[in-house]
Amino acid sequence: MTSTREAVIDLVVQACKALAAAGQDDLVWGHPSIRDPGGRGVWMKSSGWGFEEVSADRVVLVSADGEVLDGGGKPHIEYPIHAEIMSRRPDVGAVVHTHSDSANAFAALDTPLLSLSHAGSLFTFPDVPRFLLTGGLIKTRHLGQALADVLGDAPACLMPQHGIVAVGKDIQHAVMTAVLLDKACRVQLAAMAAGAIKRHGPEADTVAKREEVWSDGQILAGWEYLVRRSS
């Protein structure tokens, strides 16, 4: 994790633009965050801006209670998503929440996510968890804690009627996890629309492939591509 204020803000800006480049934008909604190196809360984009509009002066440091401690603008009402997940998961340095259309469509089918592609291998065995308590906004500490409980130790969670949450040890991993979950859902939707799925990766092969395909180097390569594409 980077330690300077300017570097953290720059990474939030890059994350927003990378998510936009990957098609994860939804007008002014959705938000990535980075854990504050000083333990004061989370750095995230301020409310009211689309991913592609975010600049350094539109990034805020938000405390666990929703108070803006640094930066300009208002916090997103769903800051508890980020605060509560990071409180539960010391291994998580960044969180992404987006309103993935593919994930919402897939989650409505209430079927397991299968390893149909490289992307799918990241979220199977065990199946990606689903947050079913509400499809509404996660705007209270109670709901944030409930979401963190369902996420558990997984890299991501489907939020039916709402979107996804993805986590990572840093923002590069969190962004790529969100992008890959969207892609895995999209691939399976396409396969199911064509007919019954007859072949998918078995557990041993999927787990082995996951370690090889989604190494730190590959995750970073995907992130750097999205950053280049967004510049």
Report helix, strand or coil for 95. Answer: strand
Share of the chain above pLDDT 90, in %: 97
Q: How does residue 33 score in pLDDT terms, banded at 50, 70 and 90?
A: very high
5-222: CATH superfamily: Class II aldolase/adducin N-terminal domain (3.40.225.10)
What does the pLDDT read at residue 208?
94
Count of beta carbons in the 10 Å neighbourhood of residue 211: 9
How many helices and strands in the chain, by DSSP H and E? 7, 7
Average pLDDT over residues 120-137: 97
Q: Is the pLDDT of residue 112 over 90?
A: yes
- Entry pTM: 0.96
What does the pLDDT read at residue 59?
98
What does the pLDDT read at residue 231?
87
What's the burial of 217, exposed, middle or buried (CB within 10 Å: 0-12/13-18/19+)? Answer: exposed
What does the pLDDT read at residue 176?
98
Amino acid in the structure at residue 60: V
Q: Is the pLDDT of residue 96 over 90?
A: yes
Average pLDDT over residues 182-205: 97
What does the pLDDT read at residue 2?
55
For residues 139 and 76, the answer to whether their CB atoms sit within 8 Å is no
What does the pLDDT read at residue 128?
98
Q: Give 59-81 pLDDT, tens digit per residue.
A: 999 999 999 999 989 999 999 99
